[in-house]
Amino acid sequence: MTLASMKRKYEPRTVKLGPDGKPIATSAMIASLSAEGYDTVSAPFGHALLELARKDEKIVGLTADLAKYTDLHIFAQAMPHRFYQMGMAEQLLMSAAAGLTREGFNPFATTYAVFASRRAYDFIAMAIAEENLPVKIVCALPGLTTGYGPSHQATEDLAIFRGLPNMTIIDPCDANDITGMVPQIAAHPGPVYSRLLRGKVPSVLTRHKPDYKFQLGKAQTIRDGKDVLIISSGFMTMRALDAAEKLAVDGVDAAVLHVPTIKPLDVDTILAEARKGGRLIVTAENHSVVGGLGEAVATVLLTNGVTPEFRMIGLPDEFLEAGALPTLHEMYGISVDRVAKQIRNWL
C-alpha cells in the first residue's frame, strides 16, 4: 500500500445513491469493462473450447477451483468426463496438465493470471516450458480487470512470461480474438500463456474492421491515421479505438495497430508501420510499463534503427489500489478519456 492510499483509506467515503435513494453497489471482482456501444458475447472462451472439443477428443480442461470464473464451466457441464477440478493448488494444476500432455492429451488449464504467474511459475518453467510441452494456460483477471487489489491484479504477468523460453503469449482484445485464438493455440505445438476476458465480453474489432480474424503471431492495423500510431494489446485496443474517435473530433488522425500476440512479436508489421514516418508512436497496454508491450516495441524500434517520437501508456510500476474498475482505470490513465488526453498533450 502506498502512502497516498494509506491516507485515502481513512478519508470519509462518498457513497453514490441511485434514483431510489439506496447506495449503488459495484463489484470489484468480476471484470465489467466499460464498453459503451459494443455488443457483448457471453463466455466466448468456454463456448469456443467446447465447440473445438466436440471435434477433438484429446482436448481436456483443468482448473484450480475457478471454472465459473474462467468460463471453463461451459466445457465442464457439457463434458464432465474430460474436466479435472484440481482444487486450490495451482502448482498441481500445471504439473497435471504437463502429465496429461505426455499421455497424448491437449490440456487447457485455467486459473487467475496472478496465480499462474506468481504461484505456479516454477512448475510452468520446469514441467512445461523447458520440455516445450503444448499446454495451454488461459488466465482470467489480467492486468487491471479487478478491483480486489494487488493480490488479484496481474500487472506484471507479461513481463514474467516474456522471459520464459518457448512460451507463446497472447493478450486478446475482445470476444472475436478469444473465439479465433482457441483453435489456433490448440493446434500450436508448444506452450501458450493467454490472458482472458471472461463473462460478457465486448465484440469490438469487427465493428471497426469487419474482415478482422485473429491470426496467431500477427499484428493487424484496425484503423489508419496520419498523426499518431497507437500500438496496443488486450482491451486497450478497444480503448485506443474509442480514443481515436474522440481525437478525430479535435482533428487528430489516429491509427491503431492491434498486437494480440506479445511473444513472438510481429516485428515485420510493427517496423513497417513505424517506418511510415511523421507519426508519434504510442503503446497502450493493460500491464505495467515495465516488461510489457511498450518495452518490447521500444526494443524492436531501437535495435532496427527506427527512432520516432515514442511514448507509453500503461500501468505504473507500483502495487495498485482496490476499488471500482471505472475509478481505477481513470486513476491510472487507461480510461478512454485519459488515453485521449495524454495523446493530445504529447502532440
- Residue-wise pLDDT for 44-71, tens only, equals 999 999 999 999 999 999 999 999 999 9
Q: Please tell me the predicted confidence (pLDDT) of residue 176.
A: 97
Q: How far apart are CA 158 and CA 325, in angstroms?
A: 20
Q: Which of 8, 290, 3 is nearest to 143 (CA)?
A: 290
**Mean pLDDT, rounded, for 104-122:** 98
With 0-12 CB in 10 A as exposed, 13-18 as middle and 19+ as buried, what is 23? exposed
Query: What is the rounded average pLDDT for all residues in the chain?
Result: 92
pLDDT of 37 reads 82
Instruction: Read off the pTM.
Output: 0.92
- Please compute the mean of the pLDDT values over residues 197-212 and round it to a whole number: 96
> Mind listing the pLDDT tens digit for each residue in 226-252?
999 999 999 999 999 999 999 999 999
Mean pLDDT of 263-289: 97
Length of the chain: 347
pLDDT at 3 over 80: no
In this predicted structure, what is the pLDDT of residue 88?
93
The answer, yes or no, to whether residue 28 has pLDDT greater than 60, is no
Percent of the chain's residues with pLDDT above 70? 90
pLDDT at 281 exceeding the cut of 50: yes
Instruction: Write down all domains in the chain, each with its CATH number in brackets.
Output: 40-202 (3.40.50.970), 217-346 (3.40.50.920)
Q: Which pLDDT value is given to residue 15?
A: 44
Q: How far apart are CA 323 and CA 208, in angstroms?
A: 31
Q: What local confidence, expressed as pLDDT, does residue 98 receive? A: 98
Evaluate if residue 199 carries a pLDDT over 50.
Answer: yes
> What pLDDT is stored for residue 277 in this prediction?
86
Tell me what pLDDT residue 24 has: 43
Check whether 6 has a pLDDT greater than 80. no
Mean pLDDT of 28-57: 84
Q: Per-residue pLDDT for 18 more than 80?
A: no
Mean pLDDT (whole number) for 173-197: 98
Residue 112 in grid coordinates: 487467475
pLDDT value of position 143? 97
pLDDT at 113: 98
Q: Which of 15-24, 193-202, 212-221, 311-320 has the lowest mean pLDDT?
A: 15-24
- Residue type present at position 104: G
Mean pLDDT of 113-127: 98
Q: Is residue 271 scored above 50 in pLDDT?
A: yes
